[in-house]
C-alpha cells in the first residue's frame, strides 16, 4: 500500500496557487488535509487500487460541485461521508454484477474448499455484508472501524451521540457475525 499511496501523495505536497485560493482552493486544501486518512479508509473498504482511486476522485469531484461550488459547513464530515457512500455503491455494484453472471462463469471459484477459508474470500464476504447493512449501521462501521475515527468524531459526522454510535456499531457487529457464520458453514 505504501507504494500505491506515493503516487497520490504528490497531491498533498502541491502548493495551492493564489488564483485557486479565491475560488475553490479550499477543495485542494481539503485534499491535502484529509487525503491520507481518506485513502486509508477507502483501502479498508474496497481493497482494490482502481476502486480506491475512483472513489477518491469521485469524492473530491462531489465536494468541488457541492451546491455550485460552495464550501460545506463541515468539510471533513462531508468528505468522509461522501467517500463511504461512494465506496459502498462500488461494492454494491460489484455484488450485483457478480450475482448476474451465469453460474459457470465466475471471476474466482468461490465454491472451492480452499477459497472458502481464504482470507481474501472472507474479506470480500465481509465487505458485501457491510454493504447490505441498514444505512445507520453501515455508516458507523465504515467511519469507526474502517476509517479509524473515534466514536466522538463518528457521532459528530453522523449527527448522533457517541453512545448511539456505540449502540449502532454493536448491533451492526451482531448482524455481521450472524451473516458470516452462515457464510463459513
HSE of 119, CA atoms in CB hemisphere, 13 A:
1
Distance CA 147, CA 144 (A): 6
pLDDT at 128: 87
- Inter-residue contact 149 to 91 (CB < 8 Å): no
Give pLDDT tens digits for 90-118.
888 888 877 776 654 445 445 555 654 56
> How confident is the prediction for the chain on average, in pLDDT?
79
Here the cell at position 80 is 468522509
pLDDT at 1: 42
Specify the pTM: 0.57
Among 56-70, 136-150, 160-174, the minimum mean pLDDT is found in: 56-70
All structural domains of the chain with their residue ranges: 2-184
State the pLDDT confidence band at 152, using cuts at 50, 70 and 90: very high
pLDDT at 166: 94
Distances (CA, A) of 140 to 24, 30, 89, 160, 172: 30, 22, 16, 10, 8
pLDDT at 4: 46
Amino acid at each position: 500500500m505504501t507504494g500505491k499511496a506515493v503516487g497520490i501523495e504528490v497531491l498533498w505536497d502541491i502548493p495551492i496557487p493564489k488564483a485557486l485560493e479565491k475560488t475553490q482552493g479550499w477543495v485542494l486544501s481539503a485534499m491535502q488535509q484529509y487525503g491520507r486518512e481518506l485513502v486509508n479508509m477507502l483501502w479498508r473498504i474496497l481493497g482494490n487500487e482502481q476502486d480506491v482511486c475512483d472513489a477518491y476522485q469521485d469524492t473530491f469531484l462531489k465536494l468541488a460541485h457541492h451546491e455550485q461550488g460552495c464550501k460545506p459547513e463541515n468539510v471533513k464530515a462531508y468528505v468522509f461521508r461522501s467517500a463511504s457512500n461512494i465506496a459502498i455503491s462500488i461494492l454494491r455494484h460489484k455484488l450485483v454484477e457478480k450475482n448476474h453472471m451465469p453460474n459457470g462463469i465466475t471471476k474466482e471459484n468461490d465454491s472451492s474448499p480452499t477459497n472458502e477459508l481464504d482470507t481474501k474470500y472472507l474479506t470480500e464476504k465481509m465487505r458485501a455484508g457491510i454493504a447490505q447493512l441498514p444505512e445507520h449501521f453501515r455508516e458507523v462501521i465504515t467511519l469507526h472501524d474502517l476509517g479509524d475515527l473515534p466514536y466522538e468524531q463518528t457521532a459528530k459526522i453522523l449527527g448522533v451521540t457517541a453512545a448511539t454510535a456505540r449502540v449502532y456499531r454493536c448491533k451492526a457487529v451482531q448482524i455481521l457475525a450472524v451473516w458470516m457464520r452462515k457464510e463459513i458453514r
